[in-house]
Structure 1
């Protein structure tokens, strides 16, 4: 994974705990291997059995103590996505680690290196009714690389270090199970002579694939687009995409979380104009990054005769099984290599640029004259944030459709769940030092109240913008909305709660807004620490507002040339 400027910052130096017993020496060796692999941050959940590891991690990495294990795991996920580095995640023994599961599933889907370390009871306490013990081996099944580190033993210290190093090289999430006998505290004990040296250094040397044949294929298909899906890395990919676009005349369609600012931001709206959708239909598609938010754009690009998928991590995005080729390699380098030998004078870049200008102008007029609603909240929040973490469901769709591309946008779109977004945003804020903004719906907020608590305890610079429409607004866009007799009870699920109480619980600054000016003022406020902005909207009016904005863009496009 790539990273941002915060990557170069090492964990703050502090006096290390004295290695007064072998458990502490063993735990220190685990932490040392994490540091050697690039880790700088550790998310630590309180517990007794994990005490040696907690002390070692806090000595060598930047510690973030989070009370709730579910929130802690999403905190680690957000931290790893934002920093581009592995992040350690520690729990005690028993049921605690089971709460890591949802975040590790998301980490698996997008190959994010969250390193879950679960302290465990020794073998003699298993199976005989001892408290706080269960079989923790492969607790997460095949969803995370697993290794048991064994009990601290002078004879196996080198093997343990090698095991940790190998797990960290695996890529994606890993689960290290670490049993300990007492003493768990730093009390004096025997310290045998041992060889405690770094493990073998793992290096990936995957070469650049030969893309000359693919460049030839794309050159023979001049009507093309480059589709940039969600991507966390901070590298020269935007410049590489620009280079490829110029070489072929391909349009660049950018998902809000792609990290690419230059390109077509409003493809979802443009392609709702049937005449333009036909005029812009591509022969070839180059896909990079994760799955895009717009179902309409996804269906449209699947019509192309030729699709090249550049695959970096996670699963290759080809749900219709129509790809011509899947190219494994770093996206920036692959794009540059194709651009070096591909040549075409495709028309779609110019056509899409014209359509984008008209769509952008229509939206500016519509939002200046239009009513308060969820699209406006998404647009204003995206415009104000330098680091925006967006929830799945309606928020990410609204940012993708209605907001210009600016700033850094992170999403948990591997599995499209709405849980853990506040915690993930808190993790991103913690490792970057940037004031982060989380855009969530009310149900996503209620799923992750633990994230508010974590952000408040750690005094993180986080603003949570909550679109409160008292339920699940996305269901109004689905066919089930026509069945009114059970719709509210089973799908919309209104809660009727006053969300200001959640802000008071965490000591957050709270603002309730009901128009664009108030929202902009709240987002510009330089409040330190945790801030919560509640934007109340009307679920029933939301569908009509979306349709009105779509119609405005369709009308502004006119007929294609």
Structure 2
């Protein structure tokens, strides 16, 4: 007779898969032994389900996050007891704020070892606090049919919860007592009662007619599927110009991009001022565009399933529905001014942009990337430069960790993205962000993941040079500039990765066209001081 631990753990795994899980990411540990072994055995006989092993829990958390971001489906993290679980916290925080579905299986010491000095023991139930949507504990070692049925039901319910807007992480805490070895080799599949959760195919809301004389759309970051076709079908006949954030997944050469650059022209702030702005999605990368809407007192509607993403506190109407549904249902009373309004926006969008140095890397990417190349962008200067200068000519599949906006875990998140695609992916980052997640490169080596990592090496934290503390010259380099003096070629060598030194941005297309296997690090040396001068000349920028 099969033991309760094995039987219930198989039900847990089966219920996760029944709920839609296709990826498991685990980090080795003793307390997680039974769950790890039975996941591995399940994957062996179910090739449609994938398992990745990452020895660094912090990296593992972000690796799972990258998979979940790109597949738009929950990914399971499995970790052992103690501080190992706390290493998931940065990724859980990002998943929470950016609405990405994650499922954390935290194996734990049993009740009798809690709060009495037992080693590797923490109070793990609800350890992530408000960062998770919900948490639950299972006793996998209890022999009772009600427990098994509850595991089937609650697991699928929690997977559905993680994947219901606003999406986010959930936690299962699994206290386990020794012996921990499950029964292996029994190929009899457990029968999990599959639950069906229905979602509305379309949300219908009474939307007031759009009667403003000059209407503008601001498409912010989008964590769901692209609605580019619906946007085109709406904006073209109504002649509505679209400012498309780099993470909107709707940016094309026809949409307005580089709004930070355009807002320095009086023609935009005065003559091209709209009467109504319809905002889609999350907070835009550009801080200036929200400041403009607020200070110019422009009426703004916000269309999103989550009404809580307006830190500018300027939105006058929140419409709780997906952009696609809004675009299909909204009615516009076309004014005589609207067509000329769109034409003038398009004309100013064509202003020549002569880019140099770090900015020129982004310009080169416009021509160098293959169609539909997935791109991950690090925070700080890379995401701002991409928002300003990337036209979206070849690809709209662009991702970033713009929930908590940290620099941690970027390498691992991009590598997670790369496992879900059928072509080479690309990461644009700086040297400080690379250093912060060097351990993530172990996954690149172990799994030969197809990723090109473009590193803008300006020897430290480049974004601080744009901030007021740069004027404190006596202390700036020590406290903020933090020069690393890294030889990135040696980092590539350590992890057995390809390395290319890029002498000028124009060479990027040639490098990317050279076939290679696995992960390749491409380094472009830059100068922080020069980069500030370039941006001030071009945009007049301070962040």
TM-score by length of 1: 0.87
Residue 233 (str. 1) matches residue 224 (str. 2): yes
Secondary structure of the residue that 1:286 maps to in structure 2?
A: strand
Match of 1:11 in 2: none
Instruction: Give, in whole Å, the separation in 1 of the partners of 2:184 and 2:178.
Output: 12
1:474-553 equivalent positions in 2, closer than 5 A:
474-550=463-539
Q: CA deviation at 1:242?
A: 1.8
Match of 1:325 in 2: 317
5+ residue gaps, structure 2, are 44-48, 163-167
Instruction: Give, in whole Å, the separation in 2 of the partners of 1:352 and 1:211.
Output: 30
Instruction: Give, in whole Å, the separation in 2 of the partners of 1:104 and 1:299.
Output: 30
Match of 2:98 in 1: 110
Pairing partner for 2:257 from 240, 260, 265: 265
Secondary structure of the residue that 1:152 maps to in structure 2?
A: coil
Match of 2:277 in 1: 285
Q: CA deviation at 1:20?
A: 4.8
Does the aligned pair in 1 maintain the 2:430–2:456 contact within 8 Å? yes
Does the aligned pair in 2 maintain the 1:158–1:196 contact within 8 Å? no
Q: Using a 3 Å threshold, how does the CA distance of structure 1 residues 67 and 507 change in structure 2: closer, same or farther?
A: same
Q: Using a 3 Å threshold, how does the CA distance of structure 1 residues 227 and 546 change in structure 2: closer, same or farther?
A: same
Higher mean alpha-carbon deviation, 258-267 vs 106-115, is at 258-267
Match of 2:303 in 1: 310
CA-to-aligned-CA distance 1:284-329 (integer Å, 9 cap, x gap): 111112211112222123334321111135x633212221221222
Q: How many pairs are equivalent?
A: 517
Does the aligned pair in 2 maintain the 1:253–1:267 contact within 8 Å? yes
Q: Using a 3 Å threshold, how does the CA distance of structure 1 residues 223 and 162 change in structure 2: closer, same or farther?
A: same
Pairing partner for 2:9 from 27, 40, 57: 27
Instruction: Give, in whole Å, the separation in 1 of the partners of 2:399 and 2:270.
Output: 32
Residue 378 (str. 1) matches residue 374 (str. 2): no
Secondary structure of the residue that 2:21 maps to in structure 1?
A: coil
Does the aligned pair in 1 maintain the 2:260–2:388 contact within 8 Å? yes
Match of 1:558 in 2: none
Higher mean alpha-carbon deviation, 326-335 vs 140-149, is at 326-335
Query: Greater helix percent: which structure?
Result: 1
Q: Using a 3 Å threshold, how does the CA distance of structure 1 residues 102 and 446 change in structure 2: closer, same or farther?
A: same
Q: CA deviation at 1:426?
A: 0.4
Match of 2:155 in 1: 164
Instruction: Give, in whole Å, the separation in 1 of the partners of 2:410 and 2:285.
Output: 17
1:28-107 equivalent positions in 2, closer than 5 A:
28-58=10-40, 59-60=42-43, 61-107=49-95
Secondary structure of the residue that 1:115 maps to in structure 2?
A: strand
Pairing partner for 1:149 from 135, 138, 143: 138
Match of 1:255 in 2: 245
Does the aligned pair in 2 maintain the 1:270–1:276 contact within 8 Å? yes
Instruction: Give, in whole Å, the separation in 2 of the partners of 1:242 and 1:128.
Output: 62
5+ residue gaps, structure 1, are 1-18, 552-561
Q: CA deviation at 1:199?
A: 5.2
Does the aligned pair in 2 maintain the 1:50–1:92 contact within 8 Å? yes
Q: CA deviation at 1:209?
A: 3.3
Match of 1:5 in 2: none
1:386-465 equivalent positions in 2, closer than 5 A:
386-405=373-392, 406-407=394-395, 408-465=397-454
Does the aligned pair in 2 maintain the 1:249–1:344 contact within 8 Å? no
Q: CA deviation at 1:36?
A: 1.7
Q: Using a 3 Å threshold, how does the CA distance of structure 1 residues 245 and 222 change in structure 2: closer, same or farther?
A: farther
Q: CA deviation at 1:352?
A: 1.0
Secondary structure of the residue that 1:154 maps to in structure 2?
A: coil
Match of 2:46 in 1: none
Q: CA deviation at 1:135?
A: 1.1
Q: CA deviation at 1:547?
A: 2.8
Match of 1:124 in 2: 112
Match of 1:356 in 2: 349
Pairing partner for 2:205 from 201, 207, 210: 210
Instruction: Give, in whole Å, the separation in 2 of the partners of 1:383 and 1:295.
Output: 27
Q: CA deviation at 1:228?
A: 0.9
C-alpha root-mean-square deviation of aligned residues, in Å? 2.4
Instruction: Give, in whole Å, the separation in 2 of the partners of 1:413 and 1:263.
Output: 21
Secondary structure of the residue that 1:401 maps to in structure 2?
A: helix
Secondary structure of the residue that 2:88 maps to in structure 1?
A: helix
Secondary structure of the residue that 2:500 maps to in structure 1?
A: strand
Instruction: Give, in whole Å, the separation in 2 of the partners of 1:181 and 1:196.
Output: 25
CA-to-aligned-CA distance 1:403-448 (integer Å, 9 cap, x gap): 2113111011011111111100100111223311111111111110
Q: CA deviation at 1:391?
A: 0.5
TM-score by length of 2: 0.90
CA-to-aligned-CA distance 1:320-354 (integer Å, 9 cap, x gap): 22212212222212221114x65445243221111
Does the aligned pair in 2 maintain the 1:77–1:107 contact within 8 Å? yes
Instruction: Give, in whole Å, the separation in 2 of the partners of 1:105 and 1:426.
Output: 19
